[in-house]
Structure 1
Amino acid sequence: MSACYIVSVKWTRRDSPYITFWRPDDCGYAWPLSWAGRYAEDDVLANKDYYHNGVSTIAVPCMLVDNLGVPPVKGTVDGDAGPVVLNNRTNWNCILEFALPDPLDKPQPQYKGARKAMGKEAGK
Structure 2
Amino acid sequence: MPAENLFIVISLNHTYRRHKAITLWRSDDKGYCWKLESAGRYDEARVLEHLGYYNSGCSNIAALLSLIEKLACEVEYDTKEFGICLPNYASTWKQLIAATIRPPQYQPEPEHRGARRQKTAA
TM-score, normalised via structure 2 length: 0.86
Residue 48 (1) aligns with residue 51 (2) = yes
Per-residue deviation, 1:76: 2.3
Per-residue deviation, 1:28: 0.4
Partner of residue 89, structure 2: 88
How many pairs align?
A: 117
Percent of aligned pairs with the same amino acid = 32
Distance 1:26 1:49 in 2: 14
Aligned letter for 1:11?
Answer: H
1:33-112 equivalences under 5 Å are 33-73=36-76, 76-77=80-81, 80=82, 82-112=83-113
TM-score, normalised via structure 1 length: 0.85
Higher strand share: 2
Per-residue deviation, 1:5: 0.2
List structure 1 segments (4+ residues) > 3 angstroms apart after TM superposition. Answer: 115-119
Distance 1:117 1:54 in 2: 18
Partner of residue 33, structure 2: 30
